[in-house]
Amino acid sequence: QVQLVEYGGGSVQAGGSLRLGCLASGYDQLDHCMGWWRRTPGGEREVVATVRHGARGKIVYADSVKGRFTISQANARNSVSLEMNRLKPEDTALYYCASGRGGRNYCLEFTSWGQGTQVTVSS
């Protein structure tokens, strides 16, 4: 059973930065992917960024965060971080770390989820 623990959320003014981190325990070596999702105050869940392990793995960002957010992963594969810059009020959400399986280049499904960490951006 994979357990994921997020940390680093908080409140910031628009234009500011935050860094989220996630540690995985009981990590399944068959899990090829880690990523970040978020649930907005309106209840919508959306993918933020995903990374597929390995030399052929790809990183994918939601259009809404491209150029502002950066996902990175430790070589040990059991941790992932999300650097968030130029934050906007619409980035306010509960951010979840997730792990799962991938195809040749991209992540396909996420099967384990953390409890989430709140990010609030004020205008």
- Distance of alpha carbon 121 from alpha carbon 109, whole angstroms: 29
76-115 pLDDT per residue, tens: 678 999 999 999 999 999 999 999 998 889 999 999 999 9
pLDDT band with cut points at 50, 70 and 90 for residue 74: confident
- For the ranges 7-21, 25-39, 105-119, the lowest mean pLDDT is seen at 25-39
**Can you tell me the distance from the alpha carbon of 96 to that of 98, in angstroms, rounded to the nearest whole number?**
6
Max distance between CA atoms of the chain, in angstroms, equals: 42
Q: What is the pLDDT of residue 56?
A: 85
pLDDT for residue 29 is more than 70: no
